[in-house]
Chains A and B, each alone.
Chain A
């Protein structure tokens, strides 16, 4: 067989292999075990250290393109907060659907909690345009930046907001971010106002955030689906309720743990293609592929 032919595999064959590799774990989940790492444990420990009634901000800084990676992360963090009676202030800086992501996630998670009260236990402040401008102004007054919530209700009359004037009353900011927005929270809010910041990001953005993590400008980085599945694993290891939630078949379909099966297969396929491509490259006398 001519080795050069193998160097020029039709890309449609590669696409077919990837498609089959993605489908198999969706049809029959494998359930590969994930080991939590230090960058993810940082956020878990921080939320564990908070007292009931403490407030955190979760900023939905992503859109539908990052949903598969960041939705499971968001659901796991919200569940952790609500189970520990931590007050959650939701907001969005990302214009292309950040607020829609927040609404969907709240609908998904809040139904699991009977006693949860909107305006007391959590609030959705909605989207604010201007990127870093509202972040900076929130240091003076969050209510002035968000006089109304996503439904147009007056935030000043909400019990949750009466206890939270500005960043001084916020224990941690968690940005679920795509692109550069997570960096802004570290640059501006952590550096200038000393608020602990954690970022949940897409896998492609994760390497950038390690620099902020090492310089203690972030307390945690949850990188992509792996970060989300590690957080789910931490919840499962520590709480009975989490083991119940993540054993539900409907919930499992949307979980990062199931997504990791797909990611695992795809990574192995890509690595196999890279190795195969290099073997052919050397076998054919370093001929350039097409």
Chain B
């Protein structure tokens, strides 16, 4: 029973939008629109679920003194402080943001994230120097395409080649790149569709967790 009800619910809410797509009757669409609204609420529950999971995993890490456990304390403290001021801001504040929340975001979260991603320029330069080698034909094609696209993304490229680099770079992005990306996207979409069918039909059940029946 513990598994049957979720499986039936999944089947019904999974099949109904497909049914509604092909039957554009007002009553059928009305129920489907109600499902869409309910989906917003249900999807919001993913956030507290994630928080519970994160807290549980990190408490366990601290308890067992696993590698890097002091960072888990920092993570939980950060989560608690931001969540506290975030919730207080919504309850009491006129603007939805507690002043302390804004200060923490502007002076900690924002610069920390920006710094982390700024470091990429340094790592990319170092990694490109060490790893980007014309070892074989495929690597050489990749290397040449990368250099053209990189030069095409900056004004220097056009200055050096009399305006030819941007059109060449755009051609690579529009033709070979778009074709490859399209293949990846279609492949991923087919995978997602088949997984959805498996879930709706109850073939894929791992989302239900381990059975204790």
**A residues neighboring B (CB under 8 Å):** 9, 11, 14-15, 17-19, 22, 32-35, 37-39, 63-68, 95-97, 100, 126, 128-134, 136-137, 139-140, 144-145, 150-152, 203, 206-208, 210-211, 213-215, 223-224, 226, 260, 263-264, 266-271, 273-274, 276-278, 281-282, 286, 289-290
Contact = CB atoms under 8 A, between A and B. Distances in A.
Interface of B: 33, 36-37, 39-40, 42-44, 46-47, 94-96, 105-106, 109-111, 113-114, 116-118, 121-122, 124-126, 128-135, 143, 146-147, 150-151, 153-156, 158-159, 163, 166, 170, 173-174, 177-179, 181-182, 185
Main secondary structure of the interface of A (DSSP, over half): helix
Nearest to B153: A226
B166 A37 contact: yes
B156 A268 contact: yes
Nearest to B90: A152
Contacts of A37: 166, 170
A240 to B, nearest CB: 24
Contact of B121 (A22, A63, A289): A22
A137 B133 contact: no
B153 A214 contact: no
A151 B178 CA distance: 41
A69 B94 CA distance: 31
Contacts of B178: 210-211, 213-214
Contact of A210 (B44, B111, B174): B174
Contacts of A213: 174, 178
B40 A137 contact: yes
Contacts of B173: 206-207, 210
28 contacts: A11-B126, A22-B121, A35-B155, A38-B170, A64-B110, A64-B111, A65-B114, A96-B109, A126-B96, A128-B40, A136-B36, A140-B33, A150-B95, A150-B96, A152-B94, A211-B181, A211-B182, A214-B182, A226-B154, A260-B154, A260-B155, A264-B156, A266-B125, A267-B151, A267-B156, A274-B132, A278-B133, A289-B131
A282 to B, nearest CB: 8
A286 to B, nearest CB: 7
A134 B40 contact: yes
A260 to B, nearest CB: 7
Contact of A18 (B122, B143, B155): B122
Contacts of A208: 181, 185
B39 A271 contact: no
A231 to B, nearest CB: 15
A208 B124 CA distance: 20
Given A64-B110, A66-B117, A289-B129, 12 more contacts: A11-B126, A18-B121, A37-B166, A65-B113, A65-B114, A97-B113, A150-B95, A151-B96, A207-B181, A266-B125, A267-B150, A278-B132
A278 B43 contact: no
Contacts of A206: 173
A275 to B, nearest CB: 8
B168 to A, nearest CB: 12
Contact of A273 (B128, B166, B185): B128
A198 to B, nearest CB: 16
A14 B122 contact: yes
